[in-house]
Every structure is written in structure tokens, then in C-alpha cells.
Structure 1
Amino acid sequence: MRRMDLAIPGTPKGTAWWDELPALPNSPGAYRWFYADVTAGEYSAVFIFMVGSLFSPRYSVGARRGALPLEHCAVNFALYHRSTRRRWVLSEYPRAAVQVQQEGRVLHIGRSVLEYGLDGTVRMEVDERCAPFGGEVRARLVLEPQAAAAEEVQLVPELPHFWRVLAPRAKARLEVFSEGVASEGIGYHDSNHGAELLGARLPGWHWARVHGPEETVVDYHLPGGVAPLRVTAGVLGTKAERRPLLAEARDTRLTGWGLRVPAQLYAGNQAVGEPRLLESSPFYARVEARRDGLDVMGEVADFRRFHSPLIRWMAHFRTRVERPA
């Protein structure tokens, strides 16, 4: 695979983003997560490695008392077949470790690993149990980026929350050994990080990425009249920009939990279709739509809701917690 020459701002010239893991957070309330999704035939899957887990009720409470993000790391994996969930993993750990190897840089959380290879490949391997008390899950995703990373962007001016699309389009191979799944398709990879708890000042967002035959477009919508962000990746390169607000808001609908989600998912101004709910909770929804060669995956999050005592209590039932040894 051709090695793309795109440096991280502030690193020596010629240093590509995969030559080192982005810095991990080390202050109370801070977080960083590494997200990837894949569409492979009738399957889709999501992998997330989190340091300072946004899904952790323990971190939600503990961060206000000085708890550190490395004390609340997590691995999330979900497998879907024809938009129906087949497996769900959310495991929380009290530590993570970074290892420098000859082949690349590796983040370890429990038995699961995220590796940035020196040839540009991204490998995520999950070796887990379904939450909270389910069976074993072993899965692997390998991404070979086909478009350059975007520049890092600040989600909201003056707030310490940042987003960077690292691999907007990638050749992907998904293997779920415990399910007998092996399929190739198209993948996506990004990273978010911030210096304070989500929901403290940034209440939430919704975003969606659209894979088309030749181009990927990612739209990130933010509350409070903040202009949305767009990343476009295709034959003309990768571009991140802030877009003007729509003159008219697009329609939404309420989930059974009362969370407002888009009524339609779009590729530009073209409606792809009504989103199918892959995940639905009081504070978070994951959605998907496919039509005529277009594939959309997106999320809606209301982090203010998550910090309520009732919803934090409910979150315990979707999480497996590994206690300190």
C-alpha cells in the first residue's frame, strides 16, 4: 500500500499520524477515544477504544472527585447484521498501556489492542465478553487508508473538545471469529479528545458519515447555533471545513426514549432514507441507512442526559467492569 505523507501539526516534517499514538489524557474529566466503523456486505460493525470512557457512570461521578481517565478505560464493539444487533461489548478497565513495537504503536486495554502500523494500516482486535455477563467475542478489523487524514478541528470555539478524521475511507477486512464472519468492505476511523467531561459545557451533537462510490462525506452537527463541520475525502484529497447553518432545520423524530434523531439521513441534499436504529438509549442513538450505493452511519448523543443519576444507574446494565487486580 502506498504510504501517504501527511504530518500531524507540531511533529517533524515527514512524520505521519500513524508513526505514534496521539497523546493520552491525564487530567480529571479529560477523555480520548478512537472510533472505527465498517460496512462489509450484510454486516456492519463499530469498534471504539476509550480512555476516559464517555459511557462510564463511574467516570461521570469520579471525575468530579479527581478520577483520572486512565482509571476508566473501555472497549466497545458492536456487530450488526442487516441493521440488527448481533453482539454488544462494553467492558471497562482501570488501566491501559501503550507499547512501542518494531511494527508500530499499540494501545492495550484489557486483552484488546489498537495498533497503528508503520505502513499506515490500522488494526483493532477485540478479545472480550458480551456485556454484562455474555459469551466470548473475538473480532478483528484491519483498515488500509485510501484517503489522507483531515486536519484536527475544534468542535465549538472556546471549548476544549477536538475531532480528527484519521482514515475517512479505507479498505477494510472484518473478521468476527466467534461468529464465523469474514468479509471485506469500506471502513472509517476518527478520534475525539477533550479536556473536560462531555456534558459539562458541550451538551451533545449528532454526526453522520456517508460512503459513496468515489467519495466520503462526514457532517458533524453541534448545538447552540454553532456552524456544522464537514470533512470530504475523495479523488481531490481530504478537506475539513465549517459549513454555513441550514436556513431551515431538517425534520427530526423522537425515539422511544425521547431522544431526538434525524427523520432522514442525507448524502448532501439527497435523502438516503429513514435511519434504522442500531442502538437506542436515553442519551445515545446509533443509526444506519443504505440505498443505491450510499452507506450512512451516524450517532446522536445528549451527554447532559447521561449525567443524570437515573441514566447512570441504567448504564451499569450494559457494561462489564473489570475490577483492579
Structure 2
Amino acid sequence: MSDDGAHGLTIIAFIGSVFSPYYGWSRAQDPFDHCAMNVVLYGRPGRFAMTERKAGSLSRSQDHIAIGPSSMHWDGTELTVRIDERGAPVPRPIRGTIRLRPSGITAGPFHLDAGERHRWWPMAPASRVEVALTEPGLSWQGSGYFDTNDGDEPLSDAFTSWTWCRAELPDGAAILYDVNHRNGGGRSLSLRFGFDGARRDIRPPLPAALPPTGFWRMPRATRSDDGRSRVLQTFEDTPFYSRSLLASTLAGEPVRAVHESLSLGRFRNPLVQLMLPFKMPRPL
């Protein structure tokens, strides 16, 4: 998010694009043949790109990944992301450079399920970001977050839904992650990290109700110190996913939290699967 709150940006490098209908329909189930650099720009102007590419478009090493014309490179202190994508369903370009500088790196991953088949590592919960886009022409600085996920089976085999949110604190960041397991039960994480990446104690916040999204009526919920939270802006309202900006209280501080809700039950709906290619093209 930009410091003035006017812009937001999400970038996800997928190897084995977990929301890809093509991956789900594929007989080979080869993750390397279903890669994408998902780029979403919020505010004005807005952009969305998630072009799926085959294995020949992927290159990677210990500190570098490239998917088609876009790439990420880590030099030990800074992550540089170079974007060259075309949006969908409206084919508007997204080009530019993003630099993320973590203030500290956390200790390691968390397991989201009892079988330890799904792992999540919030590597840099508190970072500074510089955004310099040529298409559209836009530059800003702000607060950023960097994580990584990997798993040994489709998400929808393990989970029915989850909610997640991240908020910057005066001394670091707080993250809430609540997952519901397909076989019953779930896991609730209440995390707080200092700027150095060290984990600190946090009192688990109380459940806080949120209204569903406006068009697709996606359910939303979160947690906060006083059991109250307010939606400031809805960035994404889709049949199975929402991303929002919330006003809450965490670790005793008033915060603005980026929040997401995911319904994997909705994602599995055949009608939703047929809709996805309009926003996720896959060149022949």
C-alpha cells in the first residue's frame, strides 16, 4: 500500500498456478507447465494481469525467477521485480520496476494443516516498497509484505476457506491467518513480528463480523482486539475471493489492515471454473 493510501499493488509468482482452470483440467498435472506472474494494481488507474505460461517460459535459480517477460531477483538485501505484462480481460499493459526492502527476515515456515502438506512463510512482514511504473505512469513509496507458499496437493483438497490479514504496527507488523480444514476443524494463527523479523507475543484478537461483498456476496470475517472491524474499501469482489482494506485494532494499535477471504467451495464450482479463463488467458 502507498503511504497516502491511494494505491495498492499485489504481485504473485506462481509455479503451479493454484487458481488455474487449465492446471485443474490437465491430465499431466505438471506444475512447471502452469506458471504465471499475477499483477494487480489498485486505485486509479487499476490493472489486472494473470497470463498463464508453459514450462519453456520459466527460468529460476536460488535468487532469481523469470516467468515470461517478468522477473524477480534477490540480491541479499533487496527484491527487485520487473513487470512486463498485459492485462485481461481488458488488454492494458503493466510495465515497471518494484523494489522491496525487508527490515528483517522471520525464522521459518508455518504448517497450515495437520499433515504438514501445506506451508506458509511470512518471510518479510514489514518492508519498504518503491514502485516505478511506466505503464501506467505511476510512482509511489509505501509499506510492503513478502511471503511464500508451497504445498503437496491442491488447496481445495485440504481447505474449505480461509481469511488472512496483515497490518503495519509502529514496531513491525501483525498477521492473522484462519484456515478451515476440509476434514473438519482448522487452524488460527495470531502473529506479531518486530522490524527485525523476531516473533513477539500477541493476545489472540476476538472474532469480528464483516459484511459480505457487494456483488458476489463473498463472506468476510476477521478478528480485532475489541471484536469490531470496518471495511474501508473493497479491492477485489469475485465469486470465490475478496481483498479489502479494513480499519481495526490489533496489538493495542488502530490499524489499516489488508484482508483477504477465500472460499474454495465456491472455487470448485464448475461455473466458476468456466469463468476463470476470461481473466487468466493461456497463449497457445
Structure 1: distance between partners of 2:151 and 2:121: 12
- 1:39 and 2:6 matched: no
TM-score normalised by L of structure 1 = 0.76
Shift in Å at residue 233 of structure 1? 1.4
Show the counterpart of 2:233: 276
Cα separation, partners in 2 of 1:158 and 1:275, compared to 1, 3 Å: farther
Q: Give the letter aligned to residue 261 of structure 1.
A: R
Count of residue pairs brought into register by the alignment: 274
Shift in Å at residue 58 of structure 1? 0.8
Show the counterpart of 2:71: 113
Counterpart contact for 2:124–2:197, Cα < 8 Å: no
Shift in Å at residue 271 of structure 1? 4.6
Structure 2: distance between partners of 1:71 and 1:299: 27
Equivalent of 1:320, from 269, 281, 284? 281
Cα separation, partners in 2 of 1:74 and 1:169, compared to 1, 3 Å: same
Show the counterpart of 2:262: 301
What SS is found at the alignment partner of 1:55? Answer: coil
Seq. identity, %: 25
Equivalent of 1:75, from 24, 28, 37? 37
Shift in Å at residue 250 of structure 1? 2.8
- 1:190 and 2:147 matched: yes
- Superposed, which structure 2 residues align to 1:1-325 within 5 Å? 38-41=1-4, 42-62=6-26, 65-81=27-43, 86-95=46-55, 96-100=57-61, 105-117=63-75, 119-223=76-180, 224-234=184-194, 237-239=197-199, 249-255=207-213, 256-262=215-221, 268-269=225-226, 271=228, 273-289=230-246, 294-323=255-284
Shift in Å at residue 240 of structure 1? 7.9
Counterpart contact for 1:46–1:77, Cα < 8 Å: yes
Deviations 1:223-253 (A, max 9, x none): 1432311331115742288986x7x743243
Q: Give the letter aligned to residue 190 of structure 1.
A: D
Shift in Å at residue 272 of structure 1? 5.4
Specify every segment of 5 or more residues in structure 2 that has no aligned partner in the other structure, as ranges.
none
Q: Give the letter aligned to residue 258 of structure 1.
A: R
TM-score normalised by L of structure 2 = 0.86
Shift in Å at residue 270 of structure 1? 7.2
Deviations 1:41-93 (A, max 9, x none): 3211111111111221111222xx33211111111111112xx6711111110
Query: RCO greater where, 1 or 2, for CA within 8 Å and sep 6 or more?
Result: 1
Shift in Å at residue 137 of structure 1? 1.1
Cα separation, partners in 2 of 1:254 and 1:49, compared to 1, 3 Å: same
Shift in Å at residue 258 of structure 1? 3.1
Shift in Å at residue 210 of structure 1? 0.6
Shift in Å at residue 275 of structure 1? 4.4
What SS is found at the alignment partner of 1:50? Answer: strand
Aligned CA-pair RMSD: 2.6
What SS is found at the alignment partner of 1:321? Answer: coil
